[in-house]
Structure 1
């Protein structure tokens, strides 16, 4: 009994010593050295090339903190200690020394600028530089008037010169917001009086932006407020159409009535007709499908809708056709149209026995792969929608165009 106890004691002591030995060995193992992330160090370059609306600065990264730089640039504000939470640039050169343009500045305004860089250690900012933009004239853009399908008038006046000498003034325009003198423009020369000019060669049914401008003897450019306008949608014959946006589609509000292709070629008079009952010609022309298939049939930027585009329109209104019908009984027998969409469908009927105010039928540009016949789509006075391939391309129906 005594020997058993002694043996157990020796075993426990050996096990305990082994455990202590293992701990000592583990404590002697070298520790892995993981570097602590550090942010970069960057210096803000002095501001140069100062104008009334722009300037140039940059940065020089003196240390990347031991980690790759992920983003760099400059940030600016009209208050001290600007951050990338407001106006900033991103430099993509990958160089440790870089320059960036500060744009969209206001004339005669004090700005603060700092270079910045980011890595896994976070974002760091350089020293702060301060500068004041050049004083530029205050400009006002006047209302756009006399809008046609290819032209419009606008102008401006100089509210205050602040002593600057004006060497040129005029208007500039573009399909993009805030056009500049590098876009289309009309230059009216030196002067401080109000002015007006005509924009020409515009595209029919197209939104444009216009601004007045003035250039000083120092080369600074001042702009008036951006004004958005849209040219009239006009076909080759000079007929004017209005448009409506439904979902992501833009449709003409009227049925097509042009008798000339957009290249100036007359459409064969056998390929279109008015419904003889349409005495006041309110419902639009009816065309043979062969005429609508001509690539010059529609004004530039518009086309005869596909079947899928017709189906998309009806999906937008969840099959509730009355949302597409003109309200009242001027052009329908039943007063069930709400025209919530502004599409303004009229009961144009057709020459194959469907009287006015009972139905309207439009061509699509889609050909049925099986029969080779074109699709047509229709809605009736009861608010029902239906369609499918028609029996040949020589039949005559209404046309409603959709924007490309």
Structure 2
């Protein structure tokens, strides 16, 4: 009985030792039991149809419906000319992001008239997820439009036009100007004038033309899409004038002072008749008399001009002023009929308005003189090309309005 108890106790002891060792080993091998990690998916998105489609821009809304179990570090819209655009293609991040997951993307720098494909995208720890694909076609580009105003002025070798840039179009304008030719639909391969800068309105003088010739004119603009031409007009240059002059009493062996006066008068009338012949179609011959007793200068409709000894009046401006008297200004009854404080004709006034950019300007005058640009005295004679040119063009306008030159 004793022996049995000892054996039984030893067996129980062995069993306990084995059990304890087994339990300790299990704990040592397994340690703390970890929770299984959640599975990360790619983000899921929706791509809405394109909005506000223009030639170069479009707006697309996307919606992040799931982050895939990981923080989204970037979202936007990728786009291109091929289907199923990816993150490696062109892309744009949002300009507006909402807490609901919606986001707005404004895309620019597109090309006009093309079909584009787009998909919303988002990036998380797993990678890039894409929404459904949408497509859209950009509009055709609006081109710049330049309009030529109604009033135009012609000389024998020059044309003057006013141009307004009424529409800038969708693209930046790199160059603007005018093309012209004697054939219709001129292009930049014909004669052209390039403006120094792009302006909303400008006056263009076209020079070195042939008299009595019909010209076709078109404004143009160059953008990254090429050349666009505006509406064509046609204009005819006027007949070249034939205004001639001669000295009535030139003294071959004059003293130095008199000779200097004749030289100044000769230069003055050569220059003055050049302006009259280029900017009027008047045909007339005048006789110029050097008259030291004349305080300044005077003239009559018969074509006689007296030039005094004052050097200040021996200039082109005075010569043109006196030539105007020989063609009827203050010397013909028709001038009195047309000048009633203001000029009653239409053409001379329109010429003044166009060339001075003043739509309310009118030629004014009395029974003898007109102004502005009448060069009524040495103090008004600046010698400027613009002064002489506009004076002659106003005289041409008066002639058109009915003032006779002979």
Structures share fold, TM-score greater than 0.5: no
Asked which structure has the greater CA Rg, the reply is 2
The structure carrying a bigger helix percent of its residues is: 2
The structure carrying a bigger strand percent of its residues is: 1
| TM-score normalised by structure 2 residue count | 0.34
| TM-score normalised by structure 1 residue count | 0.34
